[in-house]
Amino acid sequence: MAICFRLGWPDEKIWVVPLTQMAQVTREQQLERTTMYLISPALNPEAASPNARSRLYHPEHTHLFRPRVQEVDTSSDSDRGTL
């Protein structure tokens, strides 16, 4: 997980620590405000595969604003020949 303090400011600080250390680091650094906690498997370099890629833009990925599209038959009349 990442503990992000004052992101975007000149004094920003980021700690990447195991989840079990979140409370300890927060107390030690006296982080009370403007702190964001980011918990994601992507932050674990040991678990991440070097070939892992996001599927966000994969054609099969759908969501509210990108519904599943029905496959269209791409064969045309010209493939059948002429009479």
**What is the residue extent of each domain of the chain?**
1-42
pLDDT at 8 over 90: yes
What pLDDT was estimated at residue 2? 95
CA neighbor of 10 nearest in space, from 29, 28, 34: 34
Q: Report yes or no: 16 and 43 within 8 Å, Cβ to Cβ.
A: yes
What pLDDT was estimated at residue 53? 72
pLDDT tens for 17-76 read: 999 999 999 999 999 899 999 998 778 766 666 666 777 778 888 888 878 777 666 666
The pTM for the full model equals 0.56
